[in-house]
Amino acid sequence: MDPIAVGFGLVVLATLLGSVAVVRRLYRPKRPWGEAARARLVWGVPWGSIVVLVGVCCVYLFVQDGITDFADPVTIPYRAWSYFAPLGMLTASFSHAGPSHLLGNLAGAAVVAPIAEYAWGHYAEDGAERSDSRLADPRVRALVVFPVVVVAVGLATSLFALGPVIGFSGIVFAFAGFAIVHYPIATLIGTVGLQGALLTVLQALQSPISVHVAEASPPGPPSWATIAIQGHGLGFFIGIVLGALVLERRSRRPNPLHLWLAVLLFGFGKSLWAIYWFGGENTFVLLRGPGVVVVAVLAVVVTIGVTGSESPLLPHRFRRGEGTSDRTAVDRALELARNSADRTGNRLERVAAIAGGGANAGRRHHKRAAFLAVLLVTASLAGLAVPTNVLVIDGETTADAAVEIEDYTVTYEEGAQNQLVSPVAVGPLEEAVSMESSGVIVSSDRHQVWLDAVTSQQLAFSGEETVYVGGPGWREGVTVERTGWEPVGNETVYQVWIEGGGEDRQLAHESNESTADVRIDDRNVTVASEDEEFLLEVTEPDEDESATVPVPAENESATADGLTFERENETVYAVSNGTEVPVAVEETYD
């Protein structure tokens, strides 16, 4: 390791520790932080959070085989594909797509999980043990109960996830939801500020000084289209419901203003407004306005549901009084009805008891109604995923070549019908007739997998990609390579080759021919791919006949219909009567 980088890393660490020491001397709280932590946590340490984070790292290293290649773990079988693929459902919430994904979720959990664990507590609020029950033992609560609850929440976010999600973020949002109803401002500061600061410090320790060069990047979806918004929202509301139940049991309530502000800013800061759907191929529709409205409304509903008053849901004039002298409009209507017909009056009395004047209805409060709305939102978020998770994937392919590895099929296709997304032709989505995908497709009937693992645009940028399939204890890679020639002024003609599973290299795709935007001696030059070979085709206007010759090897030449083609490095020139014109350039990749 570079000693200069190590030295700067130590400087960064020393500076941070020094700043903490200075603030510690300036700020003397009435109750020391250590004493406050020990009142709620065993030795003041969030052991449950530590166990959970270590477990997530172990899944990445030993289940996903990140220990073999930390930068490229096995991910495909560990996504939440379907109820008919239990491996993915059981592991999706604890698996990750790569190092940055893992680090981001670990940093988020390191901030909010200890707050949630402190709010729940290993001890009773006065510091005494809760009871003689084994489950009330602080060590059991820290090392067993808390991690088990986290696993249960993780399974819930996997089972009711919309789409093949992967990652710990649903649980991180559940931690945040639980913590935010207990300590709104502390959680808001932690999630919006401290998490980013923690990631920055970790990156500074890893690379104190780095050099970056401006370079092109592969095309990809907008950042908000990579967010599992439904999974995040589901986890957040599961955490809110659990936190509200704990508060109710302990007869506590947070400051309504603080809670409303925290939920609102958390929702905006963590992109819970980013409601989106799919258009045509590589098109995404963002419903930003409706998303902001949803976050604002839900902030109010959550605040009322957790901190609302105990005032009755219906205005006083529509409720029956407790005393005989407290007569309401409903009472008077009932009295008139009895005078006309006892039977009709009895029916009206029953309706009134249900709708506004009865004892049970009269005790319904704003708080209960709002909390029921929170439960309804949670159930609705979960219910969205059920229809998609019971669909059966058809793994059949019409591709020219396929690699079979165990139960997986890897192909390259263009314009393939995306089997995970159903079109919704409503409002701004009316153009979404179908959802097609182009690129490297991984499918499996047994595991209910269908994934465009590498898009055609990504492959055109990089030229070569390796896709890993596998399972517990094994992995195998499939390499996909693109080669092509770009006629001057027109689209590239390319071939896609696929290799893996112990099979020979196969041609998976050939694109259509393309004509250069130049003429030489009143003749056109077209680049084509045929029978695994790139060809140069010479044609004259208004004539069907053509002459064809393979693209010459480097620093060699070939002739077709009296036109000579010379190749110099990556460029092919057409030469005629002393004139030399470039007609095609070999495609290059980053």
pLDDT tens digits, one per residue of 140-189: 999 999 999 999 999 999 999 888 899 999 999 999 999 999 999 999 99
Phi, psi of 444 (to 5 degrees): -160, 120
Pairing label, strands 546-550, 557-560: unpaired
Same domain membership, residue 411 and residue 327: no
Same domain membership, residue 479 and residue 431: yes
pLDDT confidence of residue 281 = 59
Same domain membership, residue 160 and residue 39: yes
With a CB cutoff of 8 Å and minimum separation 6, the contacts of 159 are 80, 83, 89, 385, 389
| In a domain? residue 382 | no
C-alpha span between 501 and 477 (Å, rounded): 8
Q: Which of 327, 308, 309, 306 is nearest to 318 (CA)?
A: 327
Instruction: Domain count for the chain, please give it.
Output: 5
CA–CA distances in Å: residue 190 to residues 145, 260, 266, 364: 24, 16, 10, 36
Predicted TM-score of the model (pTM): 0.81
pLDDT confidence of residue 235 = 94
| In a domain? residue 462 | yes
| In a domain? residue 197 | yes
Same domain membership, residue 74 and residue 149: yes
| In a domain? residue 83 | yes
Same domain membership, residue 8 and residue 61: no
Length of the chain: 590
Same domain membership, residue 194 and residue 73: yes
Which of 474, 490, 508 is the last residue before a domain boundary?
508
pLDDT-flagged residues of the chain (< 50): 126-129, 313-314, 318-326, 328-330, 333-334, 337, 341, 344-345, 348-364, 424-426, 429-430, 432-433
pLDDT confidence of residue 264 = 94
Which of 508, 533, 556 is the last residue before a domain boundary?
508
Helices (H), 121-194: 138-140, 146-159, 169-182, 184-189
Domain that holds residue 232: 31-211+223-307
| In a domain? residue 501 | yes
Which of 488, 508, 528 is the last residue before a domain boundary?
508
C-alpha span between 238 and 295 (Å, rounded): 16
Tokens of 387: 């229809």
Same domain membership, residue 414 and residue 537: no
Is residue 256 exposed (0-12), middle (13-18) or buried (19+ Cβ within 10 Å)? middle
Phi, psi of 543 (to 5 degrees): -130, 140
Same domain membership, residue 419 and residue 351: no
Same domain membership, residue 519 and residue 418: no
Same domain membership, residue 426 and residue 359: no
| In a domain? residue 245 | yes
Same domain membership, residue 497 and residue 427: yes
Same domain membership, residue 325 and residue 303: no
Contact 52/110 with Cβ under 8 angstroms? no
| In a domain? residue 370 | no
| In a domain? residue 541 | yes
